[in-house]
C-alpha cells in the first residue's frame, strides 16, 4: 500500500505538465489560419455556417416541442447563444429523460445544442415534452 502511494505520487508529478501546459501546435495552427487571408475567410465562412446550424437546431427544438403539444414558453431556448442551452428542466426531469427516453444532458438541464440533428430532434423534443407535461 505504501509503495502504491509512492508510485501514484510519481505518476502525478509526471502527468501534471501535460495538463498544465497544453501543446503549442493548436496556437500555431490558429496563427497560420489567421495570417493567411484566404484561410481566414474560409474559417469565417465555416464558423458562420456552424453558428447558423446551431441556431437552426435551437429553433427546430422549439418548433418540435410545440408540434409535440407543449404549451410552455420555450423562448429561452432561442434567446440563448452558444453550443449549449439551459432547458429549465429539473434534476428529476433530466433523470426521467435519461432513464425513460435515453436522452442525456447534465443534471442541471444543460443540453448540447450542437448534438441535436434533424435525425434526433423529434425524439429529443418528444422526450422533453413527456417529462414537462
Q: What is the pLDDT of residues 76-120, one digit of tens each?
A: 999 999 999 999 999 999 999 999 999 999 999 999 999 999 999
Q: Using DSSP bridges, classify how beta strands 110-112 and 84-86 pair: parallel, antiparallel or unpaired.
A: antiparallel
More confidently predicted of 18 and 49: 49
Q: How far is CA 85 from the centre of its chain?
A: 8
The total of other beta-carbon atoms located within 10 Å of residue 111's CB is 23
pLDDT interval class at 131 (50, 70, 90): very high
**CA pair distance 27, 129, nearest whole angstrom:** 43
Query: Other CB atoms closer than 10 Å to residue 39's CB: what's the count?
Result: 13
β-bridge mates for residue 85, sequence order? 111
Chain segment 21-40, per-residue pLDDT in tens: 777 888 999 999 999 999 99
CA 10/CA 52 separation, integer angstroms: 47
Indicate the pTM of the whole model.
0.77
Amino acid at each position: 500500500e505504501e509503495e502504491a502511494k509512492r508510485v501514484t505520487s510519481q505518476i502525478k508529478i509526471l502527468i501534471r505538465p501535460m495538463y498544465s501546459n497544453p501543446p503549442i501546435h493548436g496556437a500555431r495552427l490558429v496563427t497560420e489560419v489567421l495570417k493567411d487571408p484566404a484561410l481566414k475567410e474560409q474559417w469565417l465562412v465555416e464558423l458562420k455556417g456552424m453558428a447558423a446550424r446551431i441556431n437552426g437546431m435551437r429553433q427546430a427544438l422549439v418548433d418540435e416541442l410545440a408540434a409535440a403539444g407543449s404549451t410552455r414558453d420555450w423562448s429561452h431556448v432561442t434567446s440563448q447563444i452558444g453550443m449549449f442551452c439551459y432547458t429549465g428542466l429539473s434534476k428529476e426531469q433530466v433523470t426521467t429523460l435519461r432513464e425513460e427516453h435515453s436522452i442525456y444532458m447534465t443534471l442541471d438541464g444543460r443540453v448540447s445544442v450542437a448534438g441535436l440533428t434533424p435525425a434526433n430532434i423529434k425524439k429529443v423534443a418528444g422526450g422533453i415534452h413527456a417529462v414537462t407535461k
